[in-house]
Amino acid sequence: MIRIRHTDENPHEASEINVTPFIDVMLVLLVIFMVTAPLTTVNVPVDLPSSTEKPTPRPDDPVFLTVKADHGLALGEDDIGEDALAGALETATKGNKDERIFLRADKTVDYGTLMGVMDKLRSAGYLKVALVNLQGQEEGAAPATPSNAPTPAGGTP
């Protein structure tokens, strides 16, 4: 008996990857993340405590920017206007945008005002900001003296 071979009888190896299961998994993950993303935001009012952590060493000539209770600004001991902030910082840091700016604010200054000042620092090119607090003091404790002077609490790199 003679057998005629057809080309369809040869087994083929599939060299493509079936991406349909991968697409299905990605779509499910997308839906999960879309549902859980709004739940990760925090809408809880907080009263942040002061820090008792050991302070970081202070540089030799720190640049202090102060937001006063009346929302005025002071660079070191000199009062400045918001429009003159960039120029005054340029002079105080000698043009070094990598120098850390120590930002301190009165207790009564609201969060929005503080963030506005931080935005002005960022727009001026100063990205290294350290927030200053009274180290190791509880609410209502004695004012700062040389032994418990304000110290930097940290900052953004």
Residue 46's pLDDT is what?
Answer: 56
Alpha-carbon distance 30 to 86, whole Å?
A: 43
* Ordered per-residue pLDDT tens for the chain, 157 residues: 666 665 556 666 667 788 899 999 999 999 999 988 877 765 556 566 677 777 667 677 888 888 888 888 888 888 888 888 889 888 888 888 888 888 888 888 888 988 999 999 999 898 888 888 776 555 555 544 444 445 555 544 4
Class of the CATH domain delimited by 63-136: alpha beta
Alpha helical stretches, state H, the chain: 20-36, 85-92, 111-123
| Cα R_g (the chain), whole angstroms | 30
pTM summary value: 0.52
Residue 59 phi, psi dihedral angles, 5° rounding:
-65, 165
pLDDT of residue 27: 96
Q: Residue 36: what pLDDT?
A: 87
- Nearest alpha-carbon partner for 65 in 54, 55, 80, 50: 80
Predicted pLDDT of residue 47: 63
What pLDDT does residue 71 have? 86
Parse the chain into domains and list their residue ranges. 63-136
Amino acid residing at 100: R
